[in-house]
Amino acid sequence: MRASKTWLACLAGMAIVTGCGKSPDDAAAPATTGATDSTAAPASVSIAAVAASGAIATVEPVSSDPDNPVPLPSLQFKGAGAGKTETRYYAFDAGAGSIVLTATAKNAPSGATQALGFALYDLRANRLCFDSHGNTTSDKTVVLSCQVENAQPLLLRLDLSPESLDYAIALAGPVSLPSPTAIAANGAIVGAGSTDIDQPTRLTANRIKADGSGKAVSYYYAFNAGPGELVLTGDGSNTSAAATEALRLGLYTLRSERLCELALGNTTLEKRAVTSCLVDVRQPVILRADLSAETVAFRARFDGPHDFAPFTPPKEITIALDSSVMFDTGKAVIKPEAQEVLHEAAERVKKFAGASVLISGHTDTVGNDASNQTLSTARAEAVKQYLIAREAIPAHGLLTQGFGSSRPVADNGAEPGRARNRRVDVVITPEAKN
């Protein structure tokens, strides 16, 4: 009964988390936090040996969704390959101590493949232990000892290759099985969203899942968050490519201030990342999902203080450009790395033909008023000239003004607040509709 309650609480409050197996992507996998001790048994060990102490369960069906894993059916179970690259997830409760994981697997003949990769993960995407069988056409057994510091729900992850034939798993130690009904689907799932940040998809659920589109695309979703800590979780993979990114997620205010961000990087295996977003007051926010042309599929979810009550967007559209991205300290020369954010701002300006646009510069309270006023004015003018010269926006539609430190949006008493105050705002006021 304890296991059932633990998993129900886990899935109601936080996503189950995973990471990558041993692969070229391993450098980007979450750090190992537990002790790992693995040894390879002779290849002659049979799959039946794994179940020598009793009956072995055959798992059917399997799950490739880490938010809806298969409850571990038995301390010993077996499965078969799917003829494709596939990741499978199994949920169980663990006590403090050493969990011994015994895995036997083999694969069909192939020049380079992996019969089975297996690992345990905690709720924050920390991989506790990992091993794999490599390329083996006869039964090979690997024994892995995984140290768990505290009682908690865990996830067993199995990575199969197209050539994987069959496998058997046995767990020993402080492990308890959840009730088959304890792990249920986490409600509605939203698919691909709006590609217009100014008309985002209004969410009615905290889970998003969609396939890649074969091109680079950004999706935008809106909901209310805060106050407090919102946990943002992203999963995904991409096809093999020299340099690409499976998924980047970011949470933004309606002023386009980034609250938090995570990135999966280049990963051909399913990978998960988790980050915390501190939201000081309840407010509407935008969840942005950036996919590459090579993204196969992605999932996103958020847990913590949130709701889906309707909200009225402001009449003015404000794009807050972070000065740390735009300029060097005390300077008004736009940095090369600012080109992407300026291009996105320009595209939003172009959507509102005939709108008045005010580009305003702002500083924190460090320095004297005169120097802050001069710097804020120069930075606003630099952004204006960039939009005219590089983005072909007509000069007559752009106004500039420097406000120095007179219009803060956060507390200047601490660095996080001062960082928010150092900005250039692009404020778009669309023409009123008759």
Are 168 and 53 in contact by the 8 Å Cβ rule? The answer is no
CB atoms within 10 A of CB 4: 18
More confident residue, 23 or 105: 105
Task: Check whether 328 has a pLDDT greater than 50.
Answer: yes
More confident residue, 142 or 270: 142
Task: Check whether 162 has a pLDDT greater than 70.
Answer: yes
Task: Check whether 132 has a pLDDT greater than 70.
Answer: yes
Name, in order, each residue with C-beta under 8 angstroms of 225's C-beta and a sequence gap of 6 or more: 251, 277, 279, 282, 283, 285, 302, 304, 305, 306
| Cα separation, 204 vs 197, whole angstroms | 17
The pLDDT assigned to 26 comes to 37
Enumerate the β-bridge partners of residue 117: 132, 159
Are 289 and 296 in contact by the 8 Å Cβ rule? The answer is no
User: What percent of the chain shows pLDDT beyond 90?
Assistant: 72
Task: Check whether 59 has a pLDDT greater than 80.
Answer: no
Report pLDDT digits (tens) over 338-354.
Answer: 999 999 999 999 999 88
Say how many residues make up the chain: 434
Mean pLDDT of the chain: 85
Q: Is the dihedral of CA 353, 400, 256, 222 positive or negative?
A: negative
Do β-strands 248-253 and 207-211 pair in parallel, antiparallel, or remain unpaired? Answer: unpaired
Report pLDDT digits (tens) over 218-227.
Answer: 999 999 999 9
State which H helix or E strand residue 371 sits in.
helix 369-391
| Cα separation, 30 vs 273, whole angstroms | 8
State which H helix or E strand residue 419 sits in.
helix 415-421
User: What percent of the chain shows pLDDT beyond 70?
Assistant: 83
| Cα separation, 265 vs 235, whole angstroms | 11
* Nearest CA-CA partner of 117 in 61, 163, 54: 163
Task: Check whether 160 has a pLDDT greater than 70.
Answer: yes
Residue with tokens 């500039």: 400
**What is the mean pLDDT of the segment spanning 92-106?**
95
Task: Name the pTM for this structure.
Answer: 0.74
Report pLDDT digits (tens) over 41-52.
Answer: 333 344 444 444
The pLDDT assigned to 90 comes to 92
- Beta-strand runs (E) in 133-182: 140-148, 152-160, 164-172, 175-176
Q: How confident is the model at residue 56 (pLDDT cuts 50, 70, 90)?
A: low
Residue with tokens 């979703």: 221
The pLDDT assigned to 203 comes to 96
Report the alpha-carbon angle 140-143-145, nearest 5.
165
- In order of 118, 133, 189, the CA distances from 142 in angstroms are 10, 7, 37
Task: Check whether 13 has a pLDDT greater than 90.
Answer: no
Report pLDDT digits (tens) over 225-279.
Answer: 999 999 999 999 999 988 899 999 999 999 999 999 999 999 998 899 999 999 9
- 211 sits in the region (left: phi over 0; alpha: psi -120 to 50; else beta) called beta
Query: Exposed (0-12), middle (13-18) or buried (19+): which is 64, by Cβ within 10 Å?
Result: middle
Residue with tokens 């049979």: 46
The pLDDT assigned to 48 comes to 47
Are 120 and 127 in contact by the 8 Å Cβ rule? The answer is yes
Do β-strands 57-58 and 76-80 pair in parallel, antiparallel, or remain unpaired? Answer: parallel
Q: Cα 96 to chain center, whole Å?
A: 28
Amino acid letter, residue 184: A
